[in-house]
Amino acid sequence: MKILITGGAGFIGSHLAERLLKRGDEVLVLDDLSTGDLDNVRPLESNPKFQMKVGTVLDPDTLKPLVEWSDMIYHLAAAVGVSYVIEHPLHSLTTNIRGTEIVLELANKNKKRVLLASSSEVAGKKNGKAMFNENDDRVLGPTTVTRWIYSTSKAVDEMLGLAYWREKRLPVITVRFFNVIGPRQSADYGMSVPRFVKQALLGHPITVYGDGAQRRCFTDIEDALDGLIALGDHPHTPGEIYNLGANPDTNEICIKDLAHKIKDLTESDSPVELVPYEKAFAKGSYEDLNYRVPDLTKIRKTVGYEPKISLDMTLRRIIEYYES
């Protein structure tokens, strides 16, 4: 197939491009390099089935011929990362909402299949320890807390995708990623794993925000790609939303333990320091979630998804990447 990946010079997009090329697809990446990096796709440049265009999804003139060329679009371009969104709230809303609207509008002209990258953030916060299901109520804090911009923008994207499917029969598949990690994920935009690895390797304090008791479930990029491509290919996934994450038995951990695990694996002398939220983020811009773990029933049932890679194995690969 001819596949357009928006945001393809980013972390997930560059790994996806590599996988799709390996199975014989032609891949065209559009990326404005805001958080992505040309180095991520450099090794693909010699492949005649790969093309890279620097530009924004916000420009319909740039996007139109690329959509027309493609058989399918993986729309991953977005303003990503809690720190990034808090620092650029308006840009984030515009990129995530208008960008998706433009992609869907152009895709609809030729009824091109679209996979939309959404986020576990859409579900918001939850009390107690229950797995996040696709159909849970969304529970968000007040609009004064900038953190919820990302969740809100991705929720609007999901609703746009569903509306295009219901009203126009545009095949749109929506995937909610849960804390995907791996080599090439940037440490610069608030993602805890690459930030801790970098701090540990540089001998800087490993800074954990809040009390570190927040629990997350980290997904290896290779497992995420298995699920993502299976959903992208499956005939019955359009019009549906799917969680994509890891198995809590092997990959759930509290953030303080994660910091200590990374310190041990890197044999670092760095101290693990707790930083109050008020120091890490502008006042009133942030509130945290205590617990976030995916319910994978739906994706398992639909495409037989089974994540296989343990957190320790993924962390070792990320450490090797940062060391090199």
Q: Which residues bind ligand NAD (CB under 6 A)?
A: 6-7, 9-13, 30-36, 56-58, 76-78, 80, 95, 99, 117, 119, 177, 179-180
Residue (58 or 156) nearer to ligand NAD, CB: 58
* Alpha carbon distance 32, 58 (integer Å): 10
Q: To the nearest whole angstrom, how small is the minimum distance from the Cβ of residue 203 to ligand NAD?
A: 26
Q: To the nearest whole angstrom, how small is the minimum distance from the Cβ of residue 111 to ligand NAD?
A: 22
Q: To the nearest whole angstrom, how small is the minimum distance from the Cβ of residue 40 to ligand NAD?
A: 8
**Tokens of residue 305, six digits:** 């998804």
Q: What is the DSSP letter of 95?
A: I
Q: What is the DSSP letter of 97?
A: I
Query: 272 by DSSP, 3-state: which?
Result: strand
| Residue 271: its H or E element | none
Residue 245: CB atoms within 10 A of its CB come to: 30
Whether the CB-CB separation of 12 and 224 falls below 8 Å is answered with yes
Residue (209 or 270) nearer to ligand NAD, CB: 209
For residue 216, how far is the Cα from the chain centroid? Answer: 14
Q: To the nearest whole angstrom, how small is the minimum distance from the Cβ of residue 269 to ligand NAD?
A: 29
Residue (7 or 238) nearer to ligand NAD, CB: 7
Residue (66 or 170) nearer to ligand NAD, CB: 66
Burial of 38 (0-12, 13-18, 19+ CB in 10 A): middle
Residue among 74, 150, 242, 291 flagged as catalytic = 150
Which ranges constitute the DSSP H helices of the chain?
11-22, 60-69, 82-87, 89-93, 99-109, 148-168, 192-202, 221-233, 248-251, 255-265, 277-280, 297-303, 311-323
* Alpha carbon distance 106, 196 (integer Å): 40
Residue (165 or 178) nearer to ligand NAD, CB: 178
Q: To the nearest whole angstrom, how small is the minimum distance from the Cβ of residue 74 to ligand NAD?
A: 9
Give catalytic status of residue 189 as yes or no. no
The residues carrying an active-site annotation are 150
